[in-house]
Amino acid sequence: MSDITTLAVQKIAKPKIEDVIPEILMDNVKDTAMDFVAHLRKNKMSPGWAGYHNAWDAKCKGKTICKVRLGAEYKETVHINGNWNVTLYLKNTMKYENTIFEENLQNFIWDNVSFCHSCGTCAPEQKNVIFLGKEMNGVCRHCYNQIRFRSPNASDMDKIKRLLELERQARNL
């Protein structure tokens, strides 16, 4: 089925992510993704279809806190199946910055900041930002606090879950 046909079907059906994961991911990757979705549901951040192909948003206080995309990476315009990514919307890091450093999560975050690749959303508005005490150049102006983890493994998921917990606590203050 083509991506356009799949999108049309998803637009009508608004599928649950658990129904699509087995079609795209395999083995341990599938298990890791299913575990993460179960974690989101357990913590009242149930992912809902985001409105475009193979993407789901989890919300907290009515605002997106996390996005999960399946088969979401492109290389030289060729769609790569079998991968996924998780984007965290860390809008309140100032409230838990000390915890990030105490738990040694800063490099995990810095290594996954979205740099501007002229995506159209912010280009040409790149900027230099200081994020968690580190100057970062060429960061997307509107999404420097959107941290994308590409094909996270089980070890990464523990850190991602912790960051979600911290962000959720900060939003609930």
Residue 76 sits at the vertex; the CA angle it makes with 69 and 14, to the nearest 5 degrees, is 25
Per-residue pLDDT at 139: 74
What residues have CB less than 8 Å from 137, skipping those under 6 apart?
A: 128
Q: If you count DSSP H runs as helices and E runs as strands, how many of each does the chain have, helices first?
A: 6, 9
Q: Tens of pLDDT along the chain (173 residues)?
A: 555 555 555 656 789 999 999 988 988 999 999 999 999 999 999 999 998 889 999 999 899 999 999 985 544 434 445 689 999 999 999 999 999 999 999 999 988 887 665 555 555 555 677 778 888 777 766 666 788 899 999 899 999 999 999 999 999 87
Per-residue pLDDT at 132: 84
Determine the Cα–Cα distance for residues 34 and 57; give it in Å rounded to an integer.
Answer: 15
Per-residue pLDDT at 90: 92
> Which position has the token pair 């900060």?
170
Determine the Cα–Cα distance for residues 112 and 95; give it in Å rounded to an integer.
Answer: 20
